[in-house]
Amino acid sequence: MAMFTGKMSAQTNVDSLINVLETQKLTAKEQLDVLIELCDVYKDSNIEKLMIFSKKGLQLAQKENDKVMTADFYRYVGCGYDLYGDKDTAVIYYEKGLELAVEIKYKKCEALLYKDLGYLNVISGQYNDSNIAMEYYLKALQIFESIDDKKNIALTLNSISGYHKYLRNTERAYYYIKRAKKLAEEINYDYAKVGIYYNLGQINEYVDESIIYDLKSLEIARNIGHKRGQIMALQSLAYIYCLDKEENDIAEKYADECLQIAEEYGQRYSCIAAWTVLSYVYLYQKRYDDCKTMVLKAWEADSVNVQISTLTNLAAAYLYSGELDKAHDFFVKYVYLIEEMSSKKFQKNMAEMETKYETEKKELRITALEKEKTWIIIVSIIAVLFVLSVLYYRNKLNKNKIKQLEQEKLLVASQAVIDGETSERVRLSRDLHD
């Protein structure tokens, strides 16, 4: 059914599609097409609905033994868990989808899953391995280029730029974001422009230009119903107006809208990000009780990942409120957390160095053994050649000796004949003389 194919825009009546799905008699293939469209929209607008329709789609695809759709829905279910913050479960679904996509040679899905796994490895604590992330991104890019998928080439270039931004490789981040921007604008792909303009705002060193890019990203995200994009742009604008331009009323407006959309979207980390930026706004507005409330909300949702970035806000709020003992306690806690992080990082680096040392030592041992084996083989070959040479020359010498003996025998025989003839001539000559 053609009506269910292609990317849906914000103007598409999603409710009517759901109504069609629930009330009309559709074939299994038609149902799967609708479910794919719904997942594609809800991954950027409503995580709860994404999970509902992706799991329903996966169940139906497996029932119909439709391997292409099964791979797609594995990816969407993994995406849902990823957005919820359940990285362990997300990886399980991503890897199932990847295995199936490789098996059936479904290149586009394979590349999309490489890109998803790359992103997960960049931002997630347990899976934070930027080398693997880059490997995944480059695999995705290579496949998208091989099938000439310009939309996903632009998206992947933007992801690689974000990876370099994360590693503070500004020059490389600019290189990839410029390629992504050029391609997205050539094909007029708004979905990619949302992330590209946002990243350009983050990389740019000039505040006013960053604001321009954030506003561009926000406008497009609103037009296409991309709530994740709206949240990112609004958060960035709130920080700029609070920390750089010191215009706290404008910052508060953007932060409030960010929180509202984050709550609609349903992603825990988006809400945490909104509460965090609001804590900064309230601190600079000298609304210390509100600042404390926002920080504690963020802590309640995820204390591990937000304590470092908000502890100073909380300590300062207590300090300015005149609660010196609590301010002192939180400053001490901040110092301890920094030390703990440094210690963990140090231990991790030490463990990596030890692993690297053992690996290199093992590799050197293997190399040495291989060299030793090589020399043994070479010496053995030389020895065999020497023996063969000796045998050859001995054989040749024996042949020469035999030939020499035969020649000597022939010479003796010839001499005997000659001697015999000479004796006969002498005898005849004597007879004649007598």
The tokens for 431 are: 């007879």
Spatial contact of 218 and 233, defined as CB atoms under 8 Å apart: yes
Give 341-371 pLDDT, tens digit per residue. 555 544 544 454 445 545 554 555 555 555 5
Tokens 């690297």 label which residue? 356
CA angle 47, 50, 52 (to 5 degrees): 115
Question: What is the rounded CA–CA span in Å between residue 100 and residue 96?
Answer: 6
Portion of the chain with pLDDT greater than 90, in percent: 52
Convert the pLDDT of each residue in 130-154 to its tens digit.
578 899 999 999 999 999 999 999 9
Comparing 118-122, 183-187, 334-338, the range with the smallest average pLDDT is 334-338
Residue of higher predicted confidence among 430 and 359: 359
pLDDT of residue 17: 76
d(CA 34, CA 73): 12
pLDDT band at residue 334 under the 50/70/90 scheme: low
For residue range 263-315, list pLDDT tens digits in order.
Answer: 999 888 889 889 989 999 999 999 999 999 998 888 888 766 665 667 777 77
Report the first-to-last Cα separation within the chain, whole angstroms.
140
Range from 82-91, 186-195, 396-405 that averages highest in pLDDT = 186-195
Q: What is the pTM of this model?
A: 0.73
What mean pLDDT is predicted for residues 102-124?
A: 91
pLDDT of residue 314: 74
Q: What is the mean pLDDT of the chain?
A: 80
The pLDDT assigned to 138 comes to: 95
83 burial (CB, 10 Å; 0-12 / 13-18 / 19+) is: buried
